[in-house]
Amino acid sequence: MRALAVVAVAVLSVTAQAQEDHAPGAVQKVRDKLASLKITLDFTNARLDEVVAYFQEYSGLNFHLDPDVRTKEGEDGSRVTIKLKDVTMKSALKLILNPRELGCIYKDGVIVIAPKAKLGALTTTRVYDVRDLLFRLRDFAGPRVELTVPGGAGAALAGASFTLEEEPKGEITEEFLTDLIKTNTGDRSWDDSTNASITQINGLLVISQSKPVHDEIRRLLDLLRQFK
């Protein structure tokens, strides 16, 4: 039975046009909304599709349960018992979906909920030009300290002088950047998914990954570029 679900914070009504779903900022808008909306939930033995329907009604976003979810959880659907107060919608979704090995992806204006294994198989290939990072992210040496002793070896110690190396000792390599991406994005997908890969070609990274991981990679590269 579905228990009362109480909205903790009022939600601003957003009517998205079809063309906006394909605008460059559409995905970020959805991500920001999921991270900012707060909700209080009180469900007891509710069907998963009922909970998802409430999330849709509450947020104004479109949700869709992949048919494989119903197959995976059985004909009666997965039962949800959860009680939360003042949490973000993103956190609430994670708490409901993660124990069931489910995830979600934003596609064509709809948040699709599907098994993680299926989402991991939905890889696309993108090319990232990282030549600017390879040439500008450098490992600079620290200051070199030299003790100065006026008057020769027998004189008292007078102080110290500091000089800074003018030339960097090295540059960030493609191999280092590849390891950085794998360590900070995609969680276990780099090892678990046979479709995930990174290939280096003259300062270009050809990456096959799922769309959510591509979003993580883009954010990481944007962050690195702030420190060029």
Its pTM stands at: 0.52
Taking the C-alpha atoms of residue 11 and residue 28, their distance in angstroms, rounded to an integer, is: 18
Considering only residues 145 and 43, tell me which one the structure prediction assigns the higher pLDDT. 43
Q: Can you give the residue ranges of every domain in the chain? A: 18-121, 123-136+172-225, 141-167
Tell me how far apart the alpha carbons of residues 180 and 220 are, in angstroms, rounded to a whole number.
9
Interval 179-199: pLDDT, tens = 999 999 987 778 766 678 899
Which pairing describes strands 204-210 and 38-47: parallel, antiparallel, or unpaired? unpaired
pLDDT digits (tens, 9 = 90+) for 89-128: 999 999 999 888 888 888 788 998 988 878 767 778 899 9
Annotate 6-34 with DSSP letters as a single string. Answer: B-SS--------GGGGGSTTHHHHHHHHH
pLDDT bin (cut points 50, 70, 90) of residue 175 is confident
Q: Tokens 């990282």 sit at which residue?
A: 130
> Do the two domains 18-121 and 123-136+172-225 of this chain adopt the same fold?
no
Question: What class is the 18-121 domain?
Answer: alpha beta
> Which two tokens mark 166?
């003018």
Share the mean pLDDT of the chain.
75
Confidence of residue 206 (pLDDT cuts 50, 70, 90): very high
The CATH classification of domain 123-136+172-225, taken from the options 3.30.70, 3.30.310, 1.10.3470, 2.30.30: 3.30.70
pLDDT bin (cut points 50, 70, 90) of residue 161 is low
Report which DSSP code applies to 169.
S
- At residue 22, the pLDDT reads 41
Token pair 């009666």 is at which residue? 76
Structure tokens at 73: 């959880």
Which pLDDT band, with edges at 50, 70 and 90, does 226 fall under? confident
Give the pLDDT score at 24: 43
